[in-house]
């Protein structure tokens, strides 16, 4: 499938800041399931710094903006040819061993309820079947409801309230999986549409679980499926903050207002 992406992030400050430094993880991953045809990342008034591929295989770019500045726009635009690999991350080169993703963070700490869900894996006939069962259980336990959680809501909090968004589904999945002994990580990216056929209004997130003999496999509790050719994978991390496509700091005392728009569309090949 040929997908086009337009992703615009705007930062507005109520008073000019002296400068901004950001780290971007906005380049599609290199693996057998996707091929970048063209892709660009621009930043208003930004100066591109160093760029490198980290141990997880993600492309990272540094940007700086000299102030004073009261508005910054980060624009991502490009086209990617995707192939359905049933969620398997085939052909992806990375140096970090899977065991590193057994470590939890504050956002993915497994309380008793998440540990109980993690037991679903061991109860299944196979680890793969257990991961599918866990994905369904997370979908049942956390109803999708935009605006019901915050950026820093933990997996345990989302599970306790029974509502959340794709970030909460992904963090709950990887938390429960780790408690069951399965290496798991958070993945950021894009999704052309949900199973209802409606376009998404924001970037998407899901989890990847490592199964011996197969490798990393994506699972998306928000849509009860494994990533297919509607998905574009960008980057990964231990949790949502670690895998954030844009991270940075501003020098100044002004407050920040953030707005994000994302359009992912299908094109004729």
- 33 and 136, same domain (yes or no): no
* Residues 104 and 207 placed together within one structural domain of the fold: yes
Q: Are residues 43 and 106 in the same domain?
A: no
Strands (E), the chain: 2-24, 34-43, 46-53, 59-82, 143-144, 163-164, 184-191, 204-211, 215-219, 231-237, 246-251, 256-267
Same structural domain, 145 and 54: no
What is the Cα Rg of the chain in Å?
18
pLDDT attached to residue 199: 47
Question: Within this chain, do residues 207 and 253 fall inside the same structural domain, yes or no?
Answer: no
pLDDT of residue 202: 61
In this structure, are 171 and 108 located in the same domain? yes
Task: Report the domain count for the chain.
Answer: 2
75 and 22 belong to one structural domain: yes
Q: How far is CA 237 from the centre of its chain?
A: 8
What is the pLDDT, as a whole number, of residue 254?
76
Q: Are residues 89 and 220 in the same domain?
A: yes
Q: Are residues 177 and 111 in the same domain?
A: yes
**Do both 98 and 33 map to the same domain?**
no
pLDDT by position in tens, the chain (length 269): 999 999 999 999 999 999 999 999 999 999 999 999 999 999 999 999 999 999 999 999 999 999 899 999 999 999 999 999 999 999 999 999 999 999 999 999 999 999 999 999 999 999 999 999 999 999 999 999 999 999 999 999 999 999 999 999 999 999 999 999 999 999 999 999 654 445 455 689 999 999 999 999 999 999 999 999 999 999 999 999 999 999 999 998 878 999 999 999 998 87
φ, ψ of residue 130 in degrees (nearest 5): -65, -35
Boundaries of domain holding 48: 2-81+246-267
Whether residue 100 is found in the same domain as residue 232: yes
Cα–Cα separations (whole angstroms), residue 106 to 56, 103, 135, 236: 21, 10, 21, 17
Bridge partners (DSSP) of residue 215 are: 211
Q: Are residues 34 and 16 in the same domain?
A: yes
Tens digit of each residue's pLDDT (9 = 90 or more) over 87-143: 999 999 999 999 999 999 999 999 999 999 999 999 999 999 999 999 999 999 999
CATH code (residue 76)? 2.60.40.2250
């Amino acid at each position: 499938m040929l997908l086009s992406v337009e992703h615009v992030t705007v930062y507005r400050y109520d008073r000019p800041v002296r400068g901004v430094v950001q780290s971007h993880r906005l380049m599609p991953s290199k693996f057998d399931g996707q091929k970048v045809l063209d892709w660009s990342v621009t930043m208003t008034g930004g100066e591109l710094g160093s760029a490198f591929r980290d141990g997880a295989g993600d492309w990272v770019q540094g940007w700086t903006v000299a102030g004073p500045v009261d508005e910054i726009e980060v624009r991502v635009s490009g086209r990617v040819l995707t192939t359905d690999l049933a969620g398997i991350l085939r052909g992806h080169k990375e140096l970090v061993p899977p065991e590193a993703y057994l470590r939890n963070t504050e956002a993915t700490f497994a309380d008793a309820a998440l540990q109980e869900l993690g037991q679903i894996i061991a109860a299944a006939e196979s680890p793969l079947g257990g991961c599918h069962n866990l994905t369904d259980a997370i979908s049942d336990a956390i109803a999708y409801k935009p605006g019901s959680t915050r950026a820093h809501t933990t997996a345990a909090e989302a599970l306790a309230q029974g509502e959340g968004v794709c970030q909460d589904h992904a963090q709950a999945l990887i938390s429960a999986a780790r408690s069951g002994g399965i290496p798991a990580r958070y993945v950021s990216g894009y999704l052309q549409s949900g199973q209802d056929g409606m376009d998404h209004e924001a970037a998407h997130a899901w989890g990847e679980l490592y199964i011996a003999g197969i490798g990393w496999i994506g699972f998306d509790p928000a849509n009860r499926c494994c990533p297919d050719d509607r998905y574009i994978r960008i980057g990964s991390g231990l949790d949502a903050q670690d895998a954030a496509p844009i991270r940075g700091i501003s020098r100044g005392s002004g407050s920040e207002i953030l707005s994000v728009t994302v359009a992912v569309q299908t094109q004729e090949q």
